[in-house]
């Protein structure tokens, strides 16, 4: 047993042995240790070293602190009582080990110390007093003190007699568990929560939490004068104010600071309690602190005066501690300043001290200083390849300077208070920009190019934030300011181009092109040959740069003149509006004509065999106006408004005006003879030749002279080389949506033709996406749009603005007030039972396949998926379209048969459209059985036969005209019909509109009804919803509406296949 173990610990160990608390002792030969169990306030495991080192271990807190305890002593005494040495010998294993107590004995002895609490015992009310002391942690730094709390406890009925709690941690643990707590041999207090007043309960509960945290961190008291004192609990910084405020409300709080004691405290948040004075003492100026904190607690950011704690922020604390630290250097509690140091006192020290207290300056001191804000004047000049500079610090009439020759002194004896901190911030600017100090100020090498521009634009701007900047003449001349050297812009329209001439004051003519190239690169400036930099920082230069950027692909420049295509005139006018650009009369006339084409002065040809409506006259003027300026355009009138007639009138007028005409009209094969008939009807004076037949026949026909040649898109592609040898001045593309894909051979062939004047006719210039419009304009006005990559960056609104003068769109509702009404209705039919069975089987299969596909797999299988959709649509029409032995009937077929019989009884004339020619064949056979006569137009029908059938139907022959949607959806005039049936829906509503337009057009006398046949609960219903969305893009770009169209996407297909209305 170590000799250093106190006798009282040995006595307690002996008492434990006598009480039988050593429950078991077992030797461990291998580890050379005795394992024991000792029952204290709880059961502790004890390891007694079996070697001479006597390095023992116990689980109790006392051993943790002292490395010995009564439990280890009790075990060693136990071994002695058994005549055993604690040192385990080599033959120790031969000795019978001390037997372990039985489990029953252990339990009995363990419970013997516990007494059953008497719940009926009367609870005596208790009173708690709270004592707070500032405990020193560093003798040389009293501000590092921390607040410790100890408690006194007594009975409420005898509040004058209270007892110090010697172990606040045990006390708070007993309070938490409602246990008894012994303060000495005579007094034991029952710490039942009900014994305390409510405010004390709250405080003690909060303190118990603090104690638990500190115990977990290994602290079981506070070091007071070098010893652990378990009376004290550290007041945590984050809870100190809350706890002290609550304790203060009990009126039982006492705070002791050194020898000062305060009964109760106060807190102040915003007050500045310190007082400083500045007075004059002989020829010096004396700064003194008139008071100080009784205690300052850095950790808590509190200062205390007479029981009031003042909260300080970090800046205030730094000021106060700095003041205290500096004052320790002086023998007297004052600081003396000379007159020349007053600036430092007033500009640097007093503002900081004012953050922690009030600074009182004597009147006689105020009278001797002048406090004026500083102003800065920077001088820059060019000298010997350098920029030399100085700065003046101006205090009203007094000037200090980096160059002493420029300083101006005060006229009286008052001291000017210099703002040295602000002056230094300004001087630091020169360091930031790498100036070197010289005798008069600072200097740096004269930069050039980009660095010179940065000097004028960026560096000087920073200096101007602090004061006035003055430049020497030579330096000033190196910078050509954009505001004083504005570009002069003249825009003139010539026969082939727009000429935009640029000139800049002070720039040689031979450098103008380089200036333009710099603007084209979107540079911020241009460096002239003589080293000057021309800034582009003005609205006029930026407008010029934007124009150059927008047309960089088609721009040509020559000696300060830029040549641009004339079709960009409106954009040029828009971009340069508000600038100092001047526009020639011819340019302004062109702009006026583009904006108001209806005002264009031109006469209709007298020999035109037709009376044009007002809107058709405007369309004729629009064509003539665009042609006059060599522009192309798209006549996008709705179907049935006479695009053909307006075009014929234009070509006839061109023949009259110029004496000759060489025009090529390219149209779908189904319409080429229609053009021949229309030209002969309305302009018989024009010779027209249809180029059709085999290759040899077409060559012979092409060799014949004619004002107008008409051919199909397919024939043109095959005969491109022959047309390239011909001199053709006019190109008309009918149903121009045929070239909506710019990558097709047809579109490429058309772009290879050298024909100056081009127009497109199309009621649907956009069917799916905006790139179709790009393709059309690439054909009729090459270079009008930027390349595809930049085109995709344009918004629909920007595109609409660009094309507005070159696309003319009118609808029937607006211009044909006398055109009979067109009504549309959806007619729903139910599938037959057999038809439904087939439909659901195919739908289920498609759903299963698509559900398991990710987007990448979906793209790879897109063609197969679309084929599957076509199968579902065919089932809705009639499963016999691809199931040979099907005999289950079609609900839609039966419905349409009833409708057609009723239509004949009511003298209605019907056009019936279907995408599936097989369906039209079935209908032709079924209607024949009903006694209904039909015409049937399909893709293979020859152009001459088409016209014959159309004329015959319009004259009243036969009951129904069956038409393939793709073959007869465009170019036909069937005003003899008053009813249009769309037997099956198509993805794009524009195709259906074109079909309905065959009947609802000029010449129609009757109301036209459009019936759309829909199989209920099938994908046809979803297709109808999709069509509503697909009208949007056309309306937004062509008609200026607010919506937008999308083509058939993966999301569309998944939506279509999600139908759930049809019961399985």
Same domain, 800 and 840: no
Q: How far is CA 523 from the centre of its chain?
A: 29
Helix axes 509-520, 539-550, angle to 10 degrees: 70
| Cα distance between residue 653 and residue 650, in whole Å | 5
**183 & 51 share domain:** no
Q: Are residues 463 and 485 in the same domain?
A: no
The span from the CA of 788 to the CA of 778, in Å, is 10
558 phi and psi angles, rounded to 5 deg:
-160, 115
Instruction: Write down the pLDDT at residue 98.
Output: 47
- pTM for the model: 0.50
Q: Is there a single domain that holds both residue 296 and residue 434? A: no
> Which position has the token pair 């006192």?
345
The H or E element that residue 656 is part of is helix 643-658
Residue 68 in any domain: the answer is: yes
Give 965's contacts (C-beta < 8 A, 6+ positions apart): 913, 914, 915, 982, 986, 991, 995
Instruction: Look at residues 475, 457, 461 and name the one whose alpha carbon lies nearest to residue 389.
Output: 475
How far apart CA 35 and CA 50 sit, in angstroms, is: 10
Q: Are residues 516 and 547 part of one domain? A: yes
Classify residue 1061: in a domain, yes or no: no
- Find, among 357, 336, 130, the residue nearest to 249 by Cα: 130
Q: Is residue 678 a contact partner of residue 1003, using CB atoms and an 8 Å limit?
A: no
Whether 678 and 741 map to the same domain: the answer is yes
Do 862 and 853 contact (CB within 8 A), yes or no? no
Predicted local distance difference test score (pLDDT) of residue 104: 63
Same domain, yes or no, for 260 and 272?
Answer: no
What pLDDT does residue 1060 have? Answer: 41
Burial 885-916 (b: 16+ CB within 10 A, else e): ebebebbbbebbbebbeebbeeebbbbbbbbb
According to the model, what pLDDT value does residue 863 have?
A: 87
CA–CA dist 239, 235 (Å, integer): 7
Residue 928 inside a domain? The answer is yes
Tell me the C-alpha distance between 341 and 1008, whole Å.
Answer: 102
Residue at 996 is within a domain:
yes
- Which of 264, 291, 323 marks a domain boundary? 264
**Pair 685, 803 in one domain:** yes
Distances (CA, A) of 220 to 214, 382, 580, 633: 7, 75, 85, 94
Query: Are 520 and 614 within one domain?
Result: no
| 697-708 confidence digits (pLDDT tens) | 999 999 999 999
Q: HSE, CB side, 13 Å, CA atoms: give it for residue 810.
A: 20
Q: How many domains does the chain have?
A: 7
- The domain spanning residue 659 has which CATH number? 3.40.50.10810
- Residue 999: inside a domain: yes
Question: In which domain, by residue range, is 156 found?
Answer: 126-264
Is residue 580 assigned to a domain? yes
For 637, 642, 650, 651, the CA distances from 605, given in Å and listed in that order, are 22, 17, 8, 10
Contacts 24+ apart (CB under 8 A), 118-122: 121/190
Domain boundary (815, 846, 866) is at: 815
User: Given 784, 815, 846, which residue is the final one in a domain?
Assistant: 815
Do 346 and 379 sit in the same domain of this protein?
no
Give the residue ranges of the chain where pLDDT is below 70: 1, 90-121, 185-186, 411-413, 495, 553-559, 578-579, 767, 818, 968-971, 1028-1064
Residue 571 counted as domain residue: yes
- Of 629, 1062, 620, 999, the residue nearest 820 (C-alpha): 999
Task: Return the ∠ at Cα 8 (arms to 7 and 14), rounded to 5°.
Answer: 90
- Residues 445 and 500 placed together within one structural domain of the fold: no
**Judgement on whether residues 715 and 793 belong to the same structural domain of the protein:** yes
Q: Is residue 738 part of a domain?
A: yes
The Cα 267–Cα 241 span in angstroms is 8
Distance, CA of 760 to CA of 736 (rounded, Å): 6
């Amino acid at each position: 047993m170590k000799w250093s173990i106190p006798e009282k610990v040995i006595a307690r160990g002996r008492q434990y042995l006598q009480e039988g608390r050593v429950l078991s002792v077992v030797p461990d030969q291998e580890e050379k240790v005795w394992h024991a169990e000792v029952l204290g306030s709880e059961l502790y495991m004890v390891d007694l070293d079996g070697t001479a080192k006597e390095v023992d271990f116990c689980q109790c807190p006392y051993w943790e602190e002292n490395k010995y305890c009564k439990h280890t002593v009790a075990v060693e005494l136990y071994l002695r009582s058994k005549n055993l040495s604690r040192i385990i010998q080599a033959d120790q294993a031969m000795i019978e080990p001390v037997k372990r107590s039985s489990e029953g004995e252990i339990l009995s002895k363990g419970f013997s110390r516990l007494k059953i609490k008497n719940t009926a015992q009367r609870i005596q009310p208790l009173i708690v007093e709270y004592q707070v002391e500032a405990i020193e942690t560093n003798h040389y730094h009293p501000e590092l003190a921390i607040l410790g709390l100890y408690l006194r406890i007594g009975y409420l009925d005898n509040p004058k007699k209270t007892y110090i709690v010697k172990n606040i941690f045990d006390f708070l643990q007993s309070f938490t568990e409602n246990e008894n707590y012994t303060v000495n041999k005579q007094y034991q207090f029952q710490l039942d929560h009900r014994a305390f007043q409510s405010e004390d309960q709250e405080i003690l509960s909060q303190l118990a939490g603090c104690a638990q945290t500190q115990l977990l961190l290994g602290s079981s008291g506070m070091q007071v004068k070098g010893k652990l004192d378990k009376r004290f609990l550290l007041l945590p910084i984050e809870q100190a104010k809350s706890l002290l405020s609550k304790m203060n409300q009990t009126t039982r709080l006492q705070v002791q600071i050194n020898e000062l004691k305060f009964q109760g405290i106060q807190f102040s948040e915003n007050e500045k309690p310190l007082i400083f004075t500045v007075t004059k003492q002989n020829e010096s100026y004396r700064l003194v602190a008139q008071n100080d904190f009784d205690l300052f607690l850095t950790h808590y950011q509190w200062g205390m005066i007479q029981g009031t704690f003042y909260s300080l922020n970090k800046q205030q604390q730094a000021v106060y501690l700095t003041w205290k630290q500096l004052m320790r250097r002086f023998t007297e509690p004052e600081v003396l300043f000379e007159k020349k140091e007053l600036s430092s006192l007033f500009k640097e020290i007093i503002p900081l001290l004012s953050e922690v207290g009030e600074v009182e300056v004597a009147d006689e001191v105020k009278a001797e200083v002048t406090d004026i804000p500083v102003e800065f004047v920077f001088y820059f000049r060019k000298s010997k390849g350098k920029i030399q500079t100085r700065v003046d610090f101006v205090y009203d009439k007094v000037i200090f300077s980096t160059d002493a020759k420029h300083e101006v002194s005060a006229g009286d004896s008052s001291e000017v208070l210099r703002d040295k901190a602000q002056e230094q911030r300004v001087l630091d600017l020169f360091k930031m920009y790498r100036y070197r100090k010289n005798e008069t100020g600072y200097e740096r090498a004269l930069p050039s190019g980009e660095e010179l521009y940065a000097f004028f634009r960026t560096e000087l701007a920073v200096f101007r934030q602090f004061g006035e900047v003055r430049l020497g003449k030579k330096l000033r001349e190196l910078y050509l300011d954009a505001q004083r050297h504005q570009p002069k812009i003249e825009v003139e329209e010539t026969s082939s181009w727009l000429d935009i001439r640029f000139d800049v004051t002070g720039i040689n003519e031979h450098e103008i092109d380089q200036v333009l190239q710099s603007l084209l690169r979107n540079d911020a400036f241009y460096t002239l040959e003589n080293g000057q930099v021309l800034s582009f920082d003005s609205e006029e230069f930026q407008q010029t740069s934007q124009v150059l950027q927008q047309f960089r692909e088609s721009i040509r420049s020559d000696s300060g003149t830029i040549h641009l295509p004339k079709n960009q005139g409106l954009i040029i006018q828009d971009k340069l509006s508000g600038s100092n650009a001047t526009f020639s009369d011819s340019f302004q006339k062109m702009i006026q004509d583009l904006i108001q084409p209806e005002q264009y002065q031109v006469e209709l040809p007298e020999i035109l065999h037709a009376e044009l409506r007002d809107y058709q006259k405007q369309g004729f003027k629009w064509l003539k106006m665009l042609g006059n300026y060599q522009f192309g355009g798209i006549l996008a009138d709705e179907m049935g408004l006479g695009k053909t007639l307006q075009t014929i009138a234009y070509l006839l007028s061109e023949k009259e005006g110029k004496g000759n005409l060489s025009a090529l009209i390219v149209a779908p094969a189904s319409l080429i003879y229609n053009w021949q008939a229309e030209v002969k009807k309305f302009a018989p004076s024009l010779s027209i030749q249809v180029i059709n037949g085999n290759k040899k026949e077409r060559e012979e026909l092409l060799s014949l002279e004619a004002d107008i040649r008409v051919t199909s898109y397919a024939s043109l592609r095959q005969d491109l080389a022959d047309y390239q040898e011909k001199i053709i001045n006019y190109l008309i593309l009918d149903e121009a949506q045929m070239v909506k894909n710019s990558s097709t051979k047809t579109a490429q062939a058309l772009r290879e033709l050298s024909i100056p004047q081009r127009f497109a006719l199309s009621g649907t210039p956009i069917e799916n996406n905006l790139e179709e419009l790009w393709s059309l304009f690439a054909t009729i006005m090459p270079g009008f749009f930027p390349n595809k990559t930049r085109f995709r960056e344009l918004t629909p609104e920007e595109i609409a603005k660009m094309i507005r003068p070159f696309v003319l769109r009118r609808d029937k509702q607006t211009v044909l007030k006398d055109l009979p009404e067109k009504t549309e209705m959806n007619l729903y039919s139910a599938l037959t039972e057999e038809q439904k069975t087939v439909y659901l089987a195919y739908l289920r299969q498609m759903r299963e396949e698509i559900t398991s596909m990710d987007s990448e797999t979906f793209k790879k299988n897109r063609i197969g998926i679309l084929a599957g959709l076509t199968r579902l649509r065919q089932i809705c029409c009639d499963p016999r379209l691809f199931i040979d032995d099907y005999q289950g009937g079609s609900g839609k077929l039966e419905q349409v048969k009833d409708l057609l019989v009723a239509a004949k009884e009511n003298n209605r004339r019907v056009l019936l459209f279907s995408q599936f020619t097989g369906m039209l064949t079935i209908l032709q056979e079924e209607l024949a059985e009903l006694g209904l006569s039909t015409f049937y137009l399909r893709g293979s029908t020859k152009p001459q036969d088409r016209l014959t059938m159309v004329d015959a139907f319009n004259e009243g022959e036969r009951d129904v005209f069956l038409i393939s949607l793709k073959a007869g959806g465009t170019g036909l005039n069937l005003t003899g019909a008053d009813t249009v049936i769309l037997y099956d829906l198509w993805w794009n509503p524009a195709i259906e509109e074109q079909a309905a337009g065959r009947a609802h057009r000029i010449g129609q006398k009757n109301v036209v009804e459009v019936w759309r046949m829909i199989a209920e609960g099938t994908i046809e219903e979803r297709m109808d919803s999709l069509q509503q969305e697909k009208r949007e893009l056309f309306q937004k770009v062509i008609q200026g509406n607010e919506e937008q169209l999308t083509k058939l996407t993966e999301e569309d297909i998944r939506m279509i296949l999600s139908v759930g209305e049809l019961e399985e």
